[in-house]
Structure 1
Amino acid sequence: MSRETAFEALRTRLRDHCVYLADPDILERLEWFETQDFDHVVLRDDVDKFIEDGAPRNNPPQPACLAGIFRLSHKNRFFMRACSRWRPNASSFHQPLAEIRPSAFTEDPGIPELQGDYSMGWENVAELSREWYRSRNLDEAQVTESQGVIDWTKSRPSPADGFKIGRRVFEKRTPESLGRLQDYGPRFSIENWPVEYPEAQAELNRIKSTHIAHPIPAYYPAPDNNLIPPDRYWDDLRGAVVRLEFHLNHWFIRGRHIFTADIMRMKIIVPPKLPPPSPGRLRGIPIGDDFPGENRRSARQQAALSNTYANVPQPNPRAGSWSSNRANATQGAKTPVKTESVKRQVVSSNTYANVPQPNAQAGPWSSNRTDATRGTEKTTVKTESAKWQAASSSIYANVPHDQPNRYPQAGPWPPNNTDATRGAKKTLVKTEFEENPFKKGKGLRGWFGKRC
């Protein structure tokens, strides 16, 4: 049997037993039927028989089985875990654990033989939601205020957004519910139901005596009736192409209109083929020769780099502050030194080569390099440019420091470097080299006065 024939045969079986959601005439065959607790979509033929035959009120028409072939979401909107990642007060509705509905959104299966079926099925689900309001003589535009199957919060919902399917997994323990309970083994019981958080485990222990668990009727491709365990929902259903059968219901809960697509049976057609997880970023890994294969430069780039740095003149350790990290005293240190470009290294070496080094007593710049501070913690000293160093050395070259009291009015700098203040904290005093232009009578007011 060819691939196209296989999918056509599958659609034929779904049409025989269910209402194939992609058929264009299903809106003429379906309608909403009201019950005591909720409303559900039924076949019109069943409603006609119910009215004509005078059937008893305790035997209403059964929900219509809607069917289709869909792919389950696999990225952000797949919540079909055994406990839906439940935590106390995690949702805006504060839903208790006993009322959780593991859910997922549908997507286009991407099968060429089924092209157009998914978009038609989504449109029919949206139209059935609007039909509920029309059947109650309400404005169908109010459907945008409802919740559940279709996300109407979007400005323009489309088939690309999918619709949500799900099913409750816990039910109160009553004689009727115990009669419907099927024993699939300890892996499916509420005593061993998987949870993800300690808070959920504590809540599960509390409801074990009052509730029972119904696993989602989801099956593997073969053999038949091979039920998927609750702890495998995430791994085996996420991104899979499934044959889906569900009931479409309407609830009015806490003042909200809620539509639900309850899963009645789901079977995997194509197992999920998800891409492998992305590798994590490698942060904080040091770069060194002991990591094989780390250097991805080509041989030509490596040769160019080696030739470039081979002829770079290394600056004198005393020439400037850049080479202070390369002194013998710091040979064993592991502090990385920022390497300047070749052009900047050559310029810096030429700039500082001919700069006369000031005497230790000449000024405060060299106070950090005296013998008295050899063993102290090294403080990076800001190196002035060659022009400023030459100017400073010329200024202080002719100041006689051996007789500091002979020139008490010479300037504020020499008294600050006398023997009496050697241990004191050095305070820089601003020296005025020219007359203040804004003297009395010649300030801004005088300047404006002449021109106003």
Structure 2
Amino acid sequence: MNNIRRDLINNTYYLGVPAIRDEVTWRKMGRENTLVTADSAAAEDALTKNTGTSKTVDTTGEGGTKSQSDKSQSNTSTLLVPASLTFVALLSPEGFFLAPDGNWTRSTNFAPTFADVKLNCRAIAPSDVETFANDFTSVMQNIEWLMAQTETPGNTKQGVLTSNESPKISIKMRHVLFEENNGEADPEQVVAMEEWPVKTPEALEAIERMKDTHHVVPLPAYDTKGNIIPPVLYRDALMGAVVRVIVKLRHWNIAAKRNTSDSSRDTYVADIESLRVLTPPGKAKASRKIAQTDPGSPSKKRRVGL
């Protein structure tokens, strides 16, 4: 484990050390704020400064115009690189919702349709792995600090950290299970909708309707050998496992609806980029070995001296 920790510190954006705060920064990407690498943000700033903002050019071919600043924004937006934050944690049995169908049965506020389903789980300190258990306090402190850098005064906060935890001890992570077909998905990576394991009748009906409009994005979870974990094994292979986690952090400032008692809120999500099992969970009770001969038979009792 010490070698793994050394590699994480040297080669990744590791949340277990204070230095991470200088390596990342928040930037606007589309309608959201995304935590990006400080290097990519500096590169964007340099290019924007060098290109200037005053010149207006025709970019439409139809007499329309687009300012140089707009053009620079479209060019430099690709320079921003979301930070792949890493840490090591135990996937808690509490709040573990990584079933292949998300246990979806009906429309909810969070998932009005099956296409809106997100798998989620909680990461907690790996108490039995001293090397990383000691780091997890820093992981939590850094997550809280990073979120505070983009919070809006007066807003309530939701997502990633649980409001009723004091002190904070867990990180909520999610995986977006479905994407709309837009021609950009790698055909070799696309899983056929009819092959995806779902159990509830509602999910079975919904996935049939979605097969021409969406595709599945399997959870990027890997076992100790680096092999991707099949969806039917998500629970057995991941719940209670110690894993190396890679996530990307995003934020939205959501204004309160007019003429309601709702408050404006800062919403954060930690999107799972990768889960790699370092220590598998203990054997589940359901998988205990069954004796091949009756242990209560007279001959068996004589052999054990009864």
TM superposition outliers: structure 1 runs of 4+ over 4 Å: 252-256
Q: What residue in structure 2 maps to residue 67 of structure 1?
A: 86
CA distance in 2, matches of 1:101, 1:253: 20
- Could you tell me which amino acid in structure 2 is paired with residue 261 of structure 1? A
Q: Give 1:221's match in structure 2, choosing from 212, 224, 243.
A: 224
- Could you tell me which amino acid in structure 2 is paired with residue 192 of structure 1? E
Where does 1:2-401 land on structure 2 (aligned, <5 Å)? 7-54=1-48, 56-74=75-93, 76-89=94-107, 91-110=108-127, 111-133=129-151, 138-139=152-153, 142=155, 145-152=156-163, 154=164, 156-160=165-169, 162-176=170-184, 178=185, 180-183=186-189, 188-222=191-225, 224=226, 226-252=227-253, 255=256, 256-273=265-282, 276=285
1:136-171 CA distance string (max 9 Å, x none): xx32x63xx22221112x1x53243x0111110110
CA distance in 1, matches of 2:39, 2:116: 33
> Which consecutive unaligned segments of at least 5 residues does structure 2 have?
49-71, 257-264, 287-306
Q: How many residues align?
A: 252
Secondary structure of 1:68's partner? strand
Q: Using CA pairs under 8 Å that are at least 6 residues apart, name the structure with larger relative contact order, 1 or 2.
A: 2
Paired residues of 1:18 and 1:64 also in contact (CA < 8 A): no
Secondary structure of 2:144's partner? helix
Q: How much does 1:253 deviate?
A: 5.8
CA distance in 1, matches of 2:255, 2:275: 30
- Could you tell me which amino acid in structure 1 is paired with residue 99 of structure 2? R
1:57-116 CA distance string (max 9 Å, x none): 342311011001110011x31001111101113x34453211211110011111112242
Q: Which has the higher strand share?
A: 2
CA distance in 2, matches of 1:196, 1:12: 42
Distance change in 2, residues 1:68/1:105 (3 Å): same
Distance change in 2, residues 1:33/1:181 (3 Å): farther
Q: How much does 1:43 deviate?
A: 2.0
Secondary structure of 1:120's partner? helix
Q: How much does 1:238 deviate?
A: 0.7
Q: How much does 1:243 deviate?
A: 0.7
Q: Answer with 1 or 2: which has the greater Rg.
A: 1
Distance change in 2, residues 1:240/1:43 (3 Å): same
RMSD (Å) for aligned C-alpha atoms: 2.1
CA distance in 2, matches of 1:118, 1:43: 22
Secondary structure of 1:79's partner? coil
Distance change in 2, residues 1:220/1:173 (3 Å): same
CA distance in 1, matches of 2:255, 2:45: 32
Paired residues of 2:236 and 2:284 also in contact (CA < 8 A): no
- Could you tell me which amino acid in structure 1 is paired with residue 47 of structure 2? D
Where does 1:430-449 land on structure 2 (aligned, <5 Å)? none
Secondary structure of 1:34's partner? strand
Distance change in 2, residues 1:254/1:273 (3 Å): farther
CA distance in 2, matches of 1:253, 1:208: 32
1:360-417 CA distance string (max 9 Å, x none): xxxxxxxxxxxxxxxxxxxxxxxxxxxxxxxxxxxxxxxxxxxxxxxxxxxxxxxxxx
Paired residues of 2:161 and 2:168 also in contact (CA < 8 A): no
CA distance in 2, matches of 1:168, 1:35: 18
CA distance in 1, matches of 2:122, 2:96: 6
Identical-pair percentage: 27
Paired residues of 1:50 and 1:60 also in contact (CA < 8 A): yes
Distance change in 2, residues 1:38/1:274 (3 Å): farther
- Could you tell me which amino acid in structure 1 is paired with residue 157 of structure 2? S
Paired residues of 2:159 and 2:267 also in contact (CA < 8 A): yes
1:262-296 CA distance string (max 9 Å, x none): 1111110000015637xxxxxxxxxxxxxxxxxxx
- With normalisation by structure 1, the TM-score equals 0.53
- With normalisation by structure 2, the TM-score equals 0.76
